Amino acid sequence: MIAVNGVTKAFGAKTLFENVSVQFTPGKRYGLTGPNGCGKSTFIRILSGEEDANRGTISLPRKVGVLRQDQFHFNNNRIIDTVLMGNKTLWAALEERERLYQEPDITIEMGMRLAELEGTVAEENGYVAEQQASELLHGIGIPEEQHEALMSTLPNDLKFRVLVAQSLFGDPDALLLDEPTNYLDLESIHWLEERLHEFEGTLIVISHDRHFLNSVCTHIADIDYDTIITYTGNYDAMVEAKIQGREQIESVNRDKAKKIAQLQDFVARFGAGQRASQTQSRVKEIKRLELTELKKSNIQRPYIKLDIKRQSGRDVIIAKELSKSYLQPDGSMKQIFEDLSLQFTRGEKVAVIGNNGLGKTTLLRMLVRDLVPDSGTVTQGHELSIGYFPQDYKEGITPGMTVYQWLESFSTDEGQEVLRGLLGRMLFSGEDAHKKTDKLSGGESARLILARLMLEQPNVLILDEPTNHLDLEAVSALAFGLEKYAGTAIFVSHDRELVSEVATRIIAITEEGVADFAGTYEEYLEALEHEKKTGKKASMKQMAMTWA
């Protein structure tokens, strides 16, 4: 069990949470929710001991798995060793044992110590540890041939996957996971969900993926009103309970206010007259009917309205016979696409999905002409204007400017009122407009890019992982904005709620090739399930396969 007693955390004048006392019990899986900046990651760091609270105490079980956020810390370690380090007791015993065995002369004391260490290794299942670590790496999408390589050989997204495997290793009693689905593809997210369903300890997880929280969580610990309130059920159940609770208080307050007004009217009319005793009883009743204070919630949802200045032609982008390969670290060439042809028409909402490393970002960069294919052509249609959201969310945000100055640099004839209004919609109100761009968080940077897209009003949006750093409220707002968008949207996302709610066409990039499916994500999954059961390919009307 994790017990939190009287914990307070503030930065200057801003209080994140005050005098919080809450227990997280084994067998329950808690989603830690709240908007960007409310203190979710800070709370996880306090629980893990990486950061101190201003006041209060924390009680933890013996073994706690923590998802590290520093992807470069283990660069000089083998990938499989990085996973083994998740069990600190085992790793310390293995290191000391290795060091003693390298001594030229083993003393009696060393021999006794080695016996103790062998006992520790046995207790921690150390003799099958590498096999278990290898299974975790395989499940998270790291092939076996890479397990002995150094962490420095991996790209950042795969380093993060290794850290997810590290947090799960060693049968921890509790898990503290901050955004574990970042950089995971849909297949790996499904694997992680299954692992967490099997976990019998205490889980506390932060995620902006609503589908993930609804699938995994049995409880929600919501940071709001300067405290942490625990709700039974998944994220959607928490939202419903929270809304109902607030509406109930508001309803009771309205009834009380109506009654108070009637009593005050009586007191005003008969306060000094013959009904003095009745007046006094009504004064006491007014005091008893004091309204329940409704603290201001810190939940904020941006308002994302994506308009277009002018309509594009019917044919938006036509890609013919695209081929692209990359030089790998070992000197070999990796073929990403070969003779790939795709056509996009006005009004489509296209989700590009698939495992990491198969070319989703490469495809989008070729479509926006940010990357030149080895062969083939990309033709952009009549009256086309493209708004691009890059995967590197800070790419293109000039450092050293204020938020307002940066947005103003994309303005044509829009005045201050329009720019301030856009920033306000994206939660940059008041002094926030004067924040320096190089000081923005990931979520703030993502919202600023979306503000630019709302300002420019392009008729084609090409978005590469726009939800990676957005909180749940912002993801919901983006899904709503894309649904109502009159232009063409082509987007890469691992957020299943966004894909399910928005996409009318699925382009799935797999090891075997590219599946171009005309339909929703649920219809695409049904087609795959039908294919798996029957062994027959989906009809060409449903699914056209373009093989790389």
| 257 pLDDT tier (thresholds 50, 70, 90) | confident
CA atoms within 13 A on the CB side of 50: 13
Residue 98 pLDDT > 80 = yes
| 547 pLDDT tier (thresholds 50, 70, 90) | very low
CATH code reported for the domain at 315-546: 3.40.50.300
| Three-state DSSP string of 341-363 | EEEEECCCEEEEEECCCCCHHHH
User: How much is the average pLDDT of 101-105?
Assistant: 88
Cβ 331 vs Cβ 281: under 8 Å: no
Cβ 117 vs Cβ 97: under 8 Å: yes
pLDDT at 292: 64
389 Cβ contact partners less than 8 Å away, ≥ 6 residues apart: 446, 449, 450, 453, 461, 462, 463, 464, 466
User: How much is the average pLDDT of 369-389?
Assistant: 93
pLDDT at 545: 41
What value does the mean pLDDT of the chain take? 87
**Which comes out higher in pLDDT, residue 155 or 306?**
306
265 Cβ contact partners less than 8 Å away, ≥ 6 residues apart: none
What pLDDT, in 10s, does the model give residues 431-444? Answer: 889 999 988 888 88
pLDDT at 56: 93
Q: How far apart are CA 405 and CA 473, in angstroms?
A: 26
User: How much is the average pLDDT of 309-336?
Assistant: 89
Residue 294 pLDDT > 80 = no
pLDDT at 266: 76
Cβ–Cβ contacts within 10 Å for residue 526, how many?
14
pLDDT at 494: 84
| The 55-59 sheet, strands edge to edge | 14-24, 2-11, 55-59
Q: Quickly list DSSP for 54-111.
A: SEEEEE--S-EEE----TTTTTTSBHHHHHHTTSHHHHHHHHHHHHHHTSSS--HHHH
Query: What six digits make up the tokens of 481?
Result: 């904005």
Q: How far apart are CA 188 and CA 42, in angstroms?
A: 26
pLDDT at 422: 94
Q: How far apart are CA 127 and CA 129, in angstroms?
A: 6
278 three-class SS: helix
170 three-class SS: coil
pLDDT at 403: 94
| 298 pLDDT tier (thresholds 50, 70, 90) | low
Q: Can you give the pTM of this predicted structure?
A: 0.70
Q: How far apart are CA 360 and CA 185, in angstroms?
A: 11
Instruction: Give the closest residue to 518 by CA, choosing from 349, 381, 360.
Output: 349
What pLDDT, in 10s, does the model give residues 200-253? Answer: 999 999 988 888 999 999 999 998 877 888 999 998 888 888 777 666 777 777
Cβ–Cβ contacts within 10 Å for residue 227, how many?
17
pLDDT at 431: 86
Q: How far apart are CA 61 and CA 174, in angstroms?
A: 7
| 495 pLDDT tier (thresholds 50, 70, 90) | confident
pLDDT at 31: 95
User: How much is the average pLDDT of 312-341?
Assistant: 89
Query: What six digits make up the tokens of 33?
Result: 């929710």
